[in-house]
Structure 1
């Protein structure tokens, strides 16, 4: 196949001379890519870490140490008995799961098995008897696991519990009912996913003899309002 030759000035090549058209175009493309790489153009910007490099190893070690698997020694404040002004010691070291890390958002570290440990303390009683001995208990965790912060018992009547998301979500039938109502009364109601309700967009002041009826988002004659 005959290759046409043209007179071209290729960027970065001197002096002026005859080159194949395809070679010149390839050279220009290579030069363009080189400039892009040199300037950083065309590359996705690197995400800047909030943690300085010298602290990253410490963070990795801390993440390993605080994983929610084994209870670790934690300083816990003892409960002062009702009939005491104060006690000593005020705190003890016991194994706890509190504060350990879970990987998923919405979870926290909770004990799987716990027991109560007895501690002997002294303190001053409120009746003025002076220093007395007392027994105080503190919870000691034997095992840990990650569990949802929000539990099914936290969900109200209009909510359904989603274990995978650790959230209370609105019942589907409520949103469907609201969407039907939106079609019946366009511009008057709107679905509120925070409260699982379908409230009126605005409430008007009613004149004498009328009363506001949320079902219709309007004022109705008192005689026509259901008791």
Structure 2
């Protein structure tokens, strides 16, 4: 990448900070089959505040620190198709659909302690899981000529 000279065609980007921002969500109710293409919500979607934006490290992601529930009232219809008859749209009712709205966000580790296996410990400063049996990893390194390599996910020395 070459160092650029000032140009009229260059735009200085504004950082997308980690904060609640409008994002599209689609409505659905547990009372109806999510995979039923004949269920119609009106409106089908809306925009609500969800955490979004950038963090300064690929190990971090923008996450919700505080949220609240907002209830949306949507109309639900069913497209009914019967043999030898015209199809019709039947009103099913107004439904209250609770939606989580993010009110406060922060950059935090994408990998959490819950993502570690029983053979791993969590390092919150590095945002990663590491093998408890590090001595076995050192021994495995001595066996490279035998075709064995260390698997950091399973914390085992195994053949390729």
TM-score (norm 2): 0.73
Q: Structure 1's 180 and 74: CA in aligned 2 closer, same or farther, altered over 3 A?
A: closer
Structure number with larger C-alpha Rg: 1
Q: In structure 2, what is the equivalent of residue 102 of structure 1?
A: 55
Q: In structure 2, what is the equivalent of residue 165 of structure 1?
A: 126
Q: In structure 1, what is the equivalent of residue 108 of structure 2?
A: 147
Is this contact kept in 2: 1:111–1:143, CA < 8 A? yes
Distance apart, 1:55 and its partner CA: 3.9
- Is 1:79 equivalent to 2:28 in the alignment? yes
DSSP 3-state at the match of 2:25: strand
Q: Structure 1's 55 and 96: CA in aligned 2 closer, same or farther, altered over 3 A?
A: farther
- Is 1:197 equivalent to 2:160 in the alignment? no
TM-score (norm 1): 0.53
CA offsets per residue over residues 125-146 of structure 1, 9 Å max, x none? 4889921211112111110001
- Is 1:176 equivalent to 2:126 in the alignment? no
Match for residue 124 of structure 1 among 77, 80, 92:
77
Q: In structure 1, what is the equivalent of residue 36 of structure 2?
A: none
More helix by share: 1
DSSP 3-state at the match of 2:150: coil
CA offsets per residue over residues 41-90 of structure 1, 9 Å max, x none? xxxxxx4269x963441x2x2x1xx201x312222222244337121111
Matches within 5 A, 1:53-68: 54-57=9-12, 59=13, 61=14, 63=15, 66-68=16-18
Separation in 2, partners of 1:186, 1:80: 55
| Residue ranges of structure 2 left out of the alignment (5+ in a row) | 34-38, 81-87
DSSP 3-state at the match of 1:198: strand
Distance apart, 1:124 and its partner CA: 1.1
CA RMSD of superposed structures (Å): 3.0
Is this contact kept in 1: 2:137–2:150, CA < 8 A? no
Q: Structure 1's 67 and 160: CA in aligned 2 closer, same or farther, altered over 3 A?
A: same
Aligned length: 144
| Residue ranges of structure 1 left out of the alignment (5+ in a row) | 1-46, 203-227
More relative contact order, 1 or 2 (CA 8 Å, 6+ apart): 2
Q: In structure 1, what is the equivalent of residue 94 of structure 2?
A: 133
